[in-house]
Amino acid sequence: MARNKPLNAKEFAAEIQAFADFGKETQILDFPDPAISIPVYINEFWTSKQRAAHSLHEVSYRACFKPQLPKFFISRLTQPGDAVYDPFMGRGTTVLEAALLGRRPIGCDINPLSERLVRPRLDPPTWNEVETRLAALDLDKSSEVWDDLLVFYHPNTLRQIANLRSHLLTRLQEGPLDRVDAWIQMVATNRLTGHSPGFFSVYTLPPNQAVSIESQKRINQKRAQVPPKRDIKA
């Protein structure tokens, strides 16, 4: 719904009281502490469906909320051009949704992984740009690898990861990554470890919940698994 201006507190309260977009009426309860006079509104204010938001949100990151949650509030309490700030941005759901809604996204996080996952999605390259850059990289050439990491990766996959890492480090010595390399770095970081064939690793946990080498050995033994060969360009 397009709005000319943000809702004030009274208008916002009235809207959520009348909200019934998903077939349910809003319940209004009293706050549990009688000393605090605050109404509690209960409803399904955003869809429970999976993958119902913009595809740029689709990164692997545990313990995150749906994009529809910040969209619900951003679209009602701000207008295009307003700044939206998230001091604990994590994978960047709020920051990215704010940008998609025409707001000025501002975010920070103590985890350096956050910026690596967020910044490239605010300025994504074209498919052809990524395809051309990947085609120019020789990821199968001989490279030194870390044998300890073979509990996570097939030797060929680990060699490709090492060569991609070397390419990115060389580019960083020349200055900030351009948007194509930044995107490739973001996707590669996001796909390093996980629990399905779309990840570079054998079954494990995603980067923000990475397990130790010894823990992965136990996982491999319990699941009777060995790291499969993956083509990280695919």
Query: How does pLDDT run across 151-182, given as a tens digit for each residue?
Result: 999 999 999 999 999 999 999 999 999 999 99
Q: Taking the model in full, what pTM does it have? A: 0.87
At 223, list the tokens: 């699941």
Domains of the chain: 64-122 (3.40.50.150), 125-223 (no CATH)
3-state DSSP of the chain: CCCCCCCCHHHHHHHHHHCCCCCCCCEEEECCCCCCCCEEEECCCCCCCCCCCCHHHCCCCCCCCCCHHHHHHHHHHCCCCCEEEECCCCCCHHHHHHHHCCCEEEECCCCHHHHHHHHHHHCCCCHHHHHHHHHCCCCCCCCCCCHHHHHCCCHHHHHHHHHHHHHHHHHHHHCCCCHHHHHHHHHHHHHCCECCCCCCCCECCCHHHCCCHHHHHHHHHHHCCCCCCCCCCC
Give 128-148 pLDDT, tens digit per residue.
999 999 999 999 999 888 999
